Amino acid sequence: MNPYQHPPQTSLFVVRHGRTALNVDERYLGALDPPLDELGLQQAADLARLLQGRADTIICSPRLRAVQTAEVLASTWHVPFTILDAFA
């Protein structure tokens, strides 16, 4: 490696899932697994546009709300996503 060349950088983005109906009610979700509501899907789409081209892969929890958010990002960015049970 050239001593004047910087090593490649890795960025990690940690994002929360989009809104669910239970979020509106300010309820703790825990093990509950509600889907994203209309605004939550829009939030995921907005995030996909904001971070376009900044990720090579997505890792998410197995919760439906996280998977739905990941699906929006992955389909917009044309990148894979992996469900990691440890994130539950």
Local confidence pLDDT in tens for the 88 residues of the chain: 566 788 788 888 999 999 998 888 777 767 788 999 999 999 999 999 999 989 999 999 999 999 999 999 999 999 999 999 999 8
Q: Which helix (H) or strand (E) holds 72?
A: helix 64-77
User: Which pLDDT score is estimated for 50?
Assistant: 96
- Asked if 26 and 72 count as a contact pair (C-beta separation under 8 A), the reply is no
Closest CA to 15 of 46, 47, 40: 47
In the chain, how many domains are there? 1
Answer yes or no: is 60 within a domain: yes
Question: 82 is in which domain, residue-wise?
Answer: 21-87
The pTM assigned to this predicted structure is 0.83
User: Which pLDDT score is estimated for 29?
Assistant: 66
Query: CB under 8 Å to 74, separation ≥6 — which residues?
Result: 58, 80, 81
> What DSSP character marks residue 62?
S
Answer yes or no: is 37 within a domain: yes
List the CATH number of the domain containing 35.
3.40.50.1240
